Amino acid sequence: MVIQNREIARYFEQIADYLAIQNANPFRIRAYRNAAEAIERWPVELTKCLKEQGSIPKIPGIGKDLNDKIIKLIKGSGIALLDDLKKKIPSTLLEFLDIAGLGPRRVQALWNKGIKTKEELKIAAKEHKLSELKGFGSDLESKILKSIELGEKYQNRFLLDDAWSFCEEIKKYLLVGMPQVQLLVAGSLRRGKETVGDLDLLAISKNKTNILKRLVEFQKCEKVINYGSKKATIQIQGGMQVDLRLIDSNSSGSALLYFTGSKDHNIALRKIAIQHGFKLSEYGLFKGNVNIASKTEKEIYQSLGMNYIEPELREGRGEVESAIRGDLPQLILQSQIKGDLHVHTVASDGHDSIAQMVVKAKRKGYTYLAITDHSKRTRIAGGLNVDAFKKQYEEIDRLNEIYHPFRILKGVEVDILEDGTLDLPDSFLKDTDLTVCSIHEGFSYSSKKQTQRMIKAMDNRYFNILGHPSGRLIGRREPYDYDFEKILRFALERGIYIELNSQPDRLDINDEQSRMAKSFGVPIVISSDAHSAIELDFIEFGIKQARRGWLEKTDVLNTFSFDQLIRKLNSGR
């Protein structure tokens, strides 16, 4: 079985989690976590290296023991340590670590109490039995219940980046030795939804049985749900369902349109078709028995008297009416992004140096990059004090001479404190090129208090960008309560920008908030919040979210040239 870097990393993360629950040596736990991080961000698939070169490259921080374990995993031998840990500790306890408020020690306490499953935990919390345990209380019980309910809400949903990874792996597998097959991605993945329930693939194939048979023989298939002459459905490792349908090349456009959805969009199209005396289905647009259009989506939209609608807009939110009027937005493209304004380096909680981040940014075609390491309050992320930032800025001056005309901006991600002040003094902030101001604690305030806190911070003349405004972590932490409309009005008044954070578990702001910001005239910054060079590619998920929010090039700050960017940032100061 071919194993990818992200899967190897997850094996190591599992080992670290099991060891943490066992209260093992913290240095040993950290070694496995560091190895997992290093493997996941390694730019080349280690399986490919072993196959082509007979060895895997030396990864910094990974010694011989862990290196040997990687090779065993690639060869399909497994890891004896992990197998042994699984025998000693129920695997269901690992799920507890995703629940807010539960760290390894508390999970161990629950295990000692005989609570081994989420359902048992849920019942114990509802019956207030957890408060009897040392280190637990009624507030924690409530927090645990809310976290479990949030997890249930996103059960069997996958983050956009994971869904794309699964999709690319399956497509690559299916197309090996099948040059006559064309695969099309449909469903919510094509529409760029922030979470995806299953993968919808359409196949145009001359050999109509082989491609379906190949899917059910996929090495990571755990269960064959359906296998017929025109459709196959499987469940792969990790729980995602994959649907593969055979379609005719003559109706590829109508099939792609139908299976891309959304349901609301399709209903709206069918109503328009009826008004024209047509019938629209997955097989085509028909006038009686005559097929008017079916080969391309574009010709179907044109036949219905409207402009082509991009997949990201197909949510039944007025896009059909806009297409009929001819005033759909010209959605932003990734190629229009000139630089990234929120990234971290090894100086705080990142993994790569400034130079490594710059090299990757240049490869992406960027002309500028802002280095925005954490301020001192965020201790867990290795936040910097004023002296450390000044030293970093000296390095940026040196690197700007080396990489000219590429420009590195002196930035900071500065904490918004509980009282609405910023974590660093104005005497320092005035010398930065930009600030990303974010909340990293104090999520439980009332809407009124949280909004007042944010507005007070935004009143600082050196406040440029509001970072990940809602603080949500998809499937793990709900957005905190705040008045987004009020924030937008204040941002417009003060010349402040709102971030669309591209981290796949954030995508914050969401698509509806993006569209609201556009309607208010508040510009957006699409940032990767990258913690390594490879994570600069996360920007593509932010672009998808922006497109779903109807954003155009002129709605986004970092589509402007460096000189325009600096003028706009300084105008707010």
Closest CA to 68 of 152, 4, 28, 8: 8
For residues 213-241, average pLDDT: 93
- Other CB atoms within a 10 A radius of the CB of residue 425 amount to 11
Whether residues 101 and 189 fall in one domain: no
Of 150-159, 258-267, 360-369, 477-486, the range with the lowest mean pLDDT is 150-159
Give tens-digit pLDDT for 176-189.
Answer: 888 889 999 999 99
Across the chain, mean pLDDT equals 93
Q: Which amino acid is residue 569, in one-letter code?
A: L
Distance CA 163, CA 172 (A): 14
| Cα separation, 433 vs 372, whole angstroms | 10
Q: 515 with 550: CB under 8 angstroms? A: yes
Give yes or no: residues 454 and 567 share one domain.
Answer: yes
Q: Is 192 left (phi over 0), alpha (psi -120 to 50) or beta?
A: left
DSSP-derived secondary structure for 6-46: HHHHHHHHHHHHHHHHTT--HHHHHHHHHHHHHHHT-SS-H
pLDDT at res. 250: 93
Token code pair at residue 425: 């003094």
Q: What CATH number does residue 488 fall under? A: 3.20.20.140
- The torsion region of residue 61 among left (phi > 0), alpha (psi -120 to 50) and beta comes to left
For residues 33 and 63, membership in a common domain is answered with yes
Q: Are 185 and 200 in contact (CB under 8 A)?
A: yes
User: For position 315, which CATH number holds?
Assistant: 3.30.210.10
In three-state secondary structure terms, 118 is: helix
- Spatial CA neighbour of 371 closest among 536, 546, 503: 536
Same domain for 340 and 364?
yes
Query: Residue 103: which pLDDT band, with cuts at 50, 70 and 90?
Result: confident
- Asked if the model's pLDDT at residue 208 lies above 70, the reply is no
Over residues 444-448, the mean pLDDT reads 94
Per-residue pLDDT band for 80 (boundaries 50, 70, 90) equals confident
Same-domain status, 200 and 268? no
* Other C-beta atoms lying within 10 Å of the C-beta of residue 257: 29
Domain stop point among 325, 342, 375: 325
pLDDT tens-digit map of 472-483: 999 888 999 999
369 and 481 co-located in one domain: yes
With bands split at pLDDT 50, 70 and 90, how would you rate the model's confidence at 1? Answer: low
* C-beta separation of 310 from 279 below 8 A: no
Structural domain for 239, as ranges: 158-246
Answer yes or no: is 43 within a domain: yes
Under 8 Å between Cβ of 341 and 560: no
Residue 533 has pLDDT above 70, yes or no: yes
Is the residue at 459 inside a domain?
A: yes
Per-residue pLDDT at 391 exceeds 90: yes
Same domain, 115 and 176: no
What's the rounded Cα separation, in Å, for the pair 143 and 150? 11
Strands of the sheet containing 231-236, edge to edge, are 182-185, 198-204, 241-246, 231-236, 221-227
* Cα separation, 229 vs 212, whole angstroms: 8
pLDDT digits (tens, 9 = 90+) for 140-159: 888 889 888 888 888 889 99
Pair 450, 496 in one domain = yes
The DSSP bridge partners found for residue 434 are 411
Same domain, 139 and 208: no
Which pLDDT score is estimated for 143? 87
Q: What are phi and psi of 501, to 5 degrees?
A: -80, 125
Conformational region of residue 55, where left means phi above 0, alpha means psi within -120 to 50, and beta covers everything else? beta
149 domain residue, yes or no: yes
Among 153, 187, 205, the domain-final residue is 153
Tell me which of 99, 119, 153 is where a domain ends: 153
pLDDT band at 2 (very low <50, low <70, confident <90, very high): confident
Do residues 227 and 212 lie in contact, with contact meaning Cβ atoms separated by under 8 Å? yes
Q: Which residues contact 428 (CB under 8 A, 6 or more apart)?
A: 386, 389
H-helix or E-strand spanning residue 235:
strand 231-236
Residue 186 covered by a domain: yes
Structural domain includes residue 252: no
Of 471, 481, 565, residue with least CA distance to 523:
565
Cβ distance 216 to 232 under 8 Å? yes
Answer whether residue 251 is part of any domain: no
Residue 258 included in any domain: no
Residue ranges of the alpha helices (H) in 227-305?
Answer: 252-260, 263-275, 297-303
Same domain, 307 and 199: no
Number of domains the chain is built from: 4
CA distances from 40 to 45, 361, 510 (A): 9, 19, 26
> In 113-159, which ranges are continuous DSSP H helix?
118-126, 138-153
Give the residue with greater pLDDT, 235 vs 3.
235
Q: Tell me, what CATH number does 105's domain have? A: 1.10.150.110
Q: What is the pLDDT of residue 207?
A: 67
User: By CB neighbour count within 10 A (0-12 exposed, 13-18 middle, 19+ buried), where does 270 fall?
Assistant: middle
Q: Report the largest interatomic distance among the alpha carbons of the chain, rounded to a whole angstrom.
A: 76
134 and 180 fall within a common domain? no
Global pTM? 0.89
Q: What is the C-alpha to C-alpha distance for residues 129 and 83, in angstroms, rounded to an integer? A: 32
Task: For residue 60, name the pLDDT band (cuts at 50, 70, 90).
Answer: confident
Q: At what angle do helices 539-548 and 511-520 cross, to 10 degrees?
A: 60
pLDDT band for position 360 (cuts 50, 70, 90): very high
Q: Which residues, 6 or more positions from 544, have their beta carbon under 8 angstroms from its beta carbon?
A: 160, 192, 312
**79 and 73 Cβ atoms separated by less than 8 Å:** yes
Q: What is the Cα–Cα distance from 333 to 176, expressed in whole angstroms?
A: 30
Check: CB of residue 514 under 8 Å from CB of residue 545: yes
- Indicate the pLDDT class of residue 363, thresholds 50, 70 and 90: very high
Mean pLDDT of 69-73: 90
CA 58 to chain centroid, in Å, comes to 29
Beta-strand relationship, 284-287 and 290-293: antiparallel
Q: What is the band of 209 on the pLDDT scale with cuts at 50, 70, 90?
A: low
Cα–Cα distance list, 316 to 262, 268, 377, 540 (Å): 7, 7, 43, 23
Q: What is the CATH number of the domain that holds 223?
A: 3.30.460.10
Is position 9 within any domain?
A: yes
Query: Tokens in use for 183?
Result: 């695969």
Contact criterion met (CB below 8 Å) for 118 and 96: yes
- Partnered with residue 465 across adjacent β-strands are 436, 497
Q: Which of 462, 406, 404 is nearest to 436 (CA)?
A: 462
Q: How far is residue 109 from each of residues 21, 144, 146, 379, measured CA to CA in Å?
A: 9, 15, 20, 27
Q: What pLDDT is stored for residue 432 in this prediction?
A: 97
Residue 337: the pLDDT is: 98
Q: Give per-residue pLDDT as tens, 324-344.
A: 999 999 999 999 999 999 999
Quick one: which H or E segment has residue 203? strand 198-204
Q: Are residues 374 and 320 in the same domain?
A: no
Whole-number pLDDT of residue 386: 96
